[in-house]
Amino acid sequence: MKNEQNTTLKNPLEQYPKPPFQRQPQQPPGLASKMSPQPDHGEESYRGSGRLKGRKALITGGDSGIGRAAAIAYAREGADVVINYLPEEQTDADEVVQLITDAGQKAYAIPGDITNSEFCKQLVNDAVEKLGGLDILVNNAGKQQAVDSLSELSEEQFDATMKTNIYAPFWITKAALPHLKPGSVIISTSSVQAYDPSENLFDYAQTKAANVAFVKSLSKQLGPKGIRVNGVAPGPVWTPLQTSGGQPQDAIEKFGEQTPLARPGQPAELASIYVQLADDSASYATGQIYGAAGGSGHP
Query: Amino acid identity, residue 182?
Result: P
Identify the bridge partners of residue 89 per DSSP, sorted by sequence position: none
CA distance 193 to 186: 21
Burial class (CB in 10 A: 0-12, 13-18, 19+), 254: middle
Are residues 159 and 259 in contact, defined by beta-carbon separation less than 8 angstroms? no
Tell me the torsion sign for CA atoms 214, 218, 219, 220.
positive
CA distance 70 to 234: 13
Phi, psi (degrees; rounded to nearest 5) at 52? -120, 30
Are residues 187 and 277 in contact, defined by beta-carbon separation less than 8 angstroms? yes
CA distance 229 to 219: 5
Question: CA 298 → CA 191, 204, 213, 263, distances in Å?
Answer: 9, 16, 15, 17
Identify the bridge partners of residue 37 per DSSP, sorted by sequence position: none
Strand ranges of the sheet holding 80-85, from the earlier edge strand across to the other edge: 107-111, 80-85, 56-60, 136-139, 185-189, 228-234, 289-292
Round to the nearest angstrom and report the end-to-end CA distance of the chain.
Answer: 39
Q: Which residues are catalytic?
A: 204
